[in-house]
Structures are given as structure tokens and as C-alpha cells.
Chains A and B, each alone.
Chain A
Amino acid sequence: MIQIENLTKYYGLLKAVDNVTFTVSKGEVVGFLGPNAAGKTTTLRIITGYFPPTTGKVRIGDYDVMDKPIEAKKMIGYMPENPPLYTDMTVKSFLTFAAKIRSIPRKIRKESIEKAIELSGLTNHVKFIIGHLSKGYKQRVALAQALLHDPEILILDEPTAGLDAKERMDLLNMIHEFIGKKTVVLSTHILADVEKVCNRVIIIHKGSIVAEGSYEMLSSSVTENDRFALTVLRNDDEVEQELRLIDGIINITRNQDNPKRFTVESIKDLAVKEKVAKVLVEKNYGLIELSPSRLPLEEIFIELTKQ
């Protein structure tokens, strides 16, 4: 659905995006991660046709954004960062204007506007002047505007910034609903958001992609080792000593809140896991959990964006 090839963008001499290539297929929800000033917003702005890249190509569906901007833009709903809104308009009149310039046919215009208002939770605020709304509600107006024409592609730039906990949950739940229906690119630096809704992550740092894939793939790109969690009922100190005796175990950390839960890092060998299970069961420590675990996204992220 979205195909990006060798995208490079200079602002004067500053290279903001450096040879970025990736694709997003239909129905995927992709998290676009990176520290601040990594080039996320620049990339998204190029995808949405706000400005052209210095070199490189962007294809949206069947259209090249540079050659067929109108067709490409019709397919995209874009919620920019720090939503740019006409502060002197009311919510309703702004959405009506947005509907008109997106050429939503008159017949379904009213319906689409009402649907977008409902989806973004603005039902009680339609007559408010946008400039008088709080940040969270401005975000909602930007979201409503992006959903207005029921686009196939949704590009959301830091959509959860400025939302309270409940608003954030609602938004993430809504994005989660889109999996399989719409193609979503969600840019953020809040890792928990991505973990909740995205089936794939692209990590960008200093203008280039440093990693791309599912969590498992990302986790294995950072470390070669296996990780698993286990919980016992008894003798946790003894368990730790026993585990350290097993060959192939690299590191053992104990959960701070629950000292009977361990996270074990070992070499990638199933025999190690087998041995751990065997020891714990034979010594009757009351093994109640043994499950694979992955590096938390934070650690992957920090590892990948270290330089």
C-alpha cells in the first residue's frame, strides 16, 4: 500500500532523512519509532505529499505522490503533529470545509462528518470554536479530519501526545480495530503505544532505518541470546544458585516486585531450557511458569539508537 524507495531529504545542508526504504502492506498497523529529531515527521510529511523529497520515490496504492498527488492524497488521512487547525472556525465548519476540499460527495457529506465526529468523541463539542478547545480536543478534531473521507491509509504523527490516559486508551483501541481494515502508520516516541497496537515496528534514528520487523525479530537483532521467564513457589535463593550452575546460562535477573519470578538469559539452545525445567522440577521448587520472554521494547530501542 505504501512503498518508499531511497528517500532522502535535506533541509539546506542538514540531512533529515537518509536513504530510507520500506513498504507497508494493506491492513498493516506499523509503528514508526524514533527518538526526537530522528526524521519521523519529515518522512511522514513526504509520504503525505506536504513537501517533496530531495531524492527518492513514494508510491501510495497505485499512485506516485509526486506525479499523481491528488489521487494519492485522496487515499490518505493524515493527522499531523501539533495539529494545525484554523483556530477561528467552529469544529463543525472546519470539518465541513475539510469534507468539501476532499471532494466528499454532497450526498454523503453530512453523514461522513457525523461519523467522524462520533468516532473521535466530539459529539458535544461541534459548535465550539477550535481555538477555545483544550489540546486533547484539538487532537480529536485533527483525528476527525483524518477519518472524514474514510481513507484507506491513516498516517498519524504522535497522535497520543497531549491526551489523558482514557483518551489515549480509546484512541489506541480504535487503531487496534483498524488492523486488517486500514493501513496505519503510527509515529510516536511513546513505546507503550506501539506495543499495544502495532504488528510491525520500524525504528528510525538520525534519518536512517536502524531496524524493522516484529518484536521477536527486533529482539533477536539486538541480542543473539534467548530469554525466558520462570516463576517458582519456594526457595527462590536456592533456585538462583542452582540456575547459575547450568551451562549456557548467561544472566539471571529477579523481578523486583516478585522475587520468585526470574528472567533468564541463555544461549540459543533448547537443551538449556530443557535442563532448567528438569532441575527445577526434580528439586521440587514448585515451578509454575516457564515462558519465553522478549527484551522490552525500551531496551531494544535504547540499544538500537545508542550511537
Chain B
Amino acid sequence: MKKILSICRRDFTSYFNSPIAYIVIAIFLFIAGNIFWMAYSNFGNTYRMYSQYPWAKEDLTLAQMVFRPFFMILSNILLFMIPIITMKLVSEEKKLGTFEFLFTSPVTIPHIIFGKFLAAASFVIIMLLTTAVYPLLLAIYGKPDLKMIASGYLGLLVLSLAFIALGLFASSLTENQIIAAIISFSILMLFWVINWGSRNIQNPKIADILNYLSIPDHFVDFTKGVIDTQHIFFFLSIIALGLFLTGIVIQSQRWR
């Protein structure tokens, strides 16, 4: 465990040795702030227009009108940001040759993989936590449904972890960071759009499989405040798969 944390800490601090971390955080905060502001002002206008109708009352809440779209769009941004965060994790070690240093030290491949996974996870968690200002701000002036917001954040967390695991895998495939980012973005994009055509597929079994593999379908319930173990299981499976494949790739490269 100590070794995992040491590797995690090294990789985490190394984010801040290059400008990429600052650029990613700055862009993320800028976009997140913008979305929040737009969702909030949109909510204000809609509320003024429709609040007198009793049938609209139920949907006119902060959680429904502000945070649901906020979380949905954040998940889209993470789709672009996480490949940039994960791209260098393994590929840079390969390029610098520092794998030779790691593999000849008394650490195992799981130590390395979990360390790197945790490093990227910590980075993303910090990024997500910075957006917690918005619900806190609203909690001061209003009464947002905090449980629903917490559920949304849990959704973003498992989604991000799954993205990181897949990004880590992509990073292990190449020593070029840019190529790693492109591969991981392609994988994430594939999972994102995988069921877009499923309505036109005649075979219901294939359509079901495609629907099951769709990441947004599993994410959307979290934004509604529904924490379903089935969805958590799905994301945990993706994480396990990503980490497992990374391990296989790294191990097999040593045998070659």
C-alpha cells in the first residue's frame, strides 16, 4: 500500500511540473462556471414564467433544472479532459525508459497500475471538488435537494474513474502521449455513442447489448438522484477491465 501511495504521489505531483495540469484545470473551471451560470439563469427565467402553474411545480427545482443539465454537460467535458489527464501516465515512462527503473525496484505491476490510477483519480476528484462551490453557494441562498446533488457527484466520480481506467489502458499501448490521448478519446467516444443506432437494429439481443454498454445510459440515472447498484456495478466492471488490460499490456511488453 505504501508503495502504491508513493507512486501515486510521484505521478500526482508530476502533473504540476508541466503546464498541462494548469491548462486542464483552468479550462475545466471556466466551462463548468459558464454552464452553471447559464443553467442557473435559465432556471430563473423558467421559474418566473411557469411557477404559477401547479403542474410545473414538481420539475421547477434547483436539482432538476440546474444540476441535472450541469452534471450531464460536465460528463461531456470529462470525456474530453480525461484522455489528456491520463495520456502520459504509462506512455511517458516508456518514452523516458523509467520503466526500467520501476521494474528493477521492488515493486510489482499492480503497485504501478494502482498508483497511477489513484494519481489521475486524485487529480480528477480535486477538479470535481472545485465545482462543489456552486451547490454550496445555492445551499446558502436556497434549498437545493442535496441528496440528488450528491448522487450526481457520485455518478461523475464513477464515470471519471471508468474513463481513467480506459485512458490508462490507452496510455499503456504507446509511448507517444498524443497517440495515447487519441486512442483513449476514441475508446470513450465509442462507449458514448455505442447505442445511438440501436433503435434501427432488428435483432433485439444485439440492441440490448449495445444499450447495456452505453456509458451515458448508465450515468443518467445518477443525475436524477437514483443510485442503482446495477449502474455502479457497470462502472466498476469498466474500471476493473481497464486496469486488467493495462496490466496485461505492460506484462506482455516485458516478455517481448
Measured CB to CB, the residues of A under 8 A from B are: 11-12, 45, 48-52, 69-71, 73-74, 76, 78, 80, 82, 84-89, 93, 97-98, 100-103, 145
Cβ B254 vs Cβ A50 within 8 A: yes
Q: How far is the CA of A78 from the CA of B3 in the complex (A)?
A: 19
Cβ A101 vs Cβ B98 within 8 A: no
Contacts of A76 in B (CB 8 A): 104
What is the distance, in angstroms, from A297's C-beta to the closest C-beta of chain B?
29
Q: What are 21 inter-chain pairs, A to B, with CB distance below 8 A?
A: A12-B256, A45-B100, A51-B103, A52-B255, A69-B108, A73-B105, A78-B104, A80-B97, A80-B100, A84-B99, A85-B98, A86-B10, A86-B14, A86-B96, A88-B17, A88-B18, A98-B101, A100-B2, A101-B105, A101-B111, A145-B101
Contacts of B102 in A (CB 8 A): 101
Q: Is B214 an interface residue (CB 8 A)?
A: no
Contacts of B107 in A (CB 8 A): 70, 101
Q: Is B181 an interface residue (CB 8 A)?
A: no
Q: How far is the CA of A71 from the CA of B107 in the complex (A)?
A: 10
Q: Is B7 an interface residue (CB 8 A)?
A: yes
**Quick one: which of B1-52 are within 8 Å of A by CB?**
2-3, 6-7, 9-10, 13-14, 17-18
Q: How far is the CA of A286 from the CA of B13 in the complex (A)?
A: 74
Q: How far is the CA of A49 from the CA of B109 in the complex (A)?
A: 12
Cβ B254 vs Cβ A102 within 8 A: no
Q: How far is the CA of A93 from the CA of B98 in the complex (A)?
A: 15
Q: How far is the CA of A73 from the CA of B106 in the complex (A)?
A: 5
Q: How far is the CA of A89 from the CA of B14 in the complex (A)?
A: 7
Contacts A50-B254, A51-B255, A70-B106 known; A101 to B96 CB distance under 8 Å?
no
Cβ B101 vs Cβ A48 within 8 A: no
7 smallest beta-carbon distances between A and B, as pairs: A84-B97, A100-B6, A88-B17, A48-B104, A73-B106, A51-B254, A70-B106
Q: How far is the CA of A12 from the CA of B255 in the complex (A)?
A: 10
Contacts A84-B100, A88-B17, A88-B18 known; A103 to B106 CB distance under 8 Å?
yes
Cβ A50 vs Cβ B104 within 8 A: yes
B interface SS class = helix
Contacts of A102 in B (CB 8 A): 105-106
Q: Name B18's closest neighbour in chain A (CB-CB).
A: A88
Contacts of B7 in A (CB 8 A): 101
Contacts A50-B103, A50-B104, A98-B105 known; A85 to B256 CB distance under 8 Å?
no
Contacts A11-B256, A101-B3, A101-B6 known; A73 to B104 CB distance under 8 Å?
yes
Cβ B96 vs Cβ A97 within 8 A: no
Q: How far is the CA of A12 from the CA of B108 in the complex (A)?
A: 25
Cβ A82 vs Cβ B105 within 8 A: no
Contacts of A93 in B (CB 8 A): 13
Contacts A73-B105, A73-B106 known; A103 to B100 CB distance under 8 Å?
no
Beyond A80-B100, A98-B101, A103-B106, 20 extra complex contacts between A and B, CB < 8 Å: A50-B104, A50-B254, A51-B254, A52-B254, A70-B107, A73-B104, A73-B106, A74-B106, A78-B104, A84-B99, A86-B96, A88-B14, A88-B18, A97-B10, A98-B105, A101-B7, A101-B107, A103-B2, A103-B3, A145-B101
Contacts A50-B103, A51-B255, A100-B6 known; A82 to B97 CB distance under 8 Å?
yes
Contacts of A73 in B (CB 8 A): 104-106
Q: Name A71's closest neighbour in chain B (CB-CB).
A: B106
Q: How far is the CA of A52 from the CA of B255 in the complex (A)?
A: 6
Contacts A52-B255, A73-B106, A89-B14 known; A84 to B2 CB distance under 8 Å?
no
Q: How far is the CA of A80 from the CA of B111 in the complex (A)?
A: 22
Q: Point out the residue from A49, A85, A100 that lies within 8 Å of B101, measured CB to CB.
A: A85
Cβ A84 vs Cβ B14 within 8 A: no
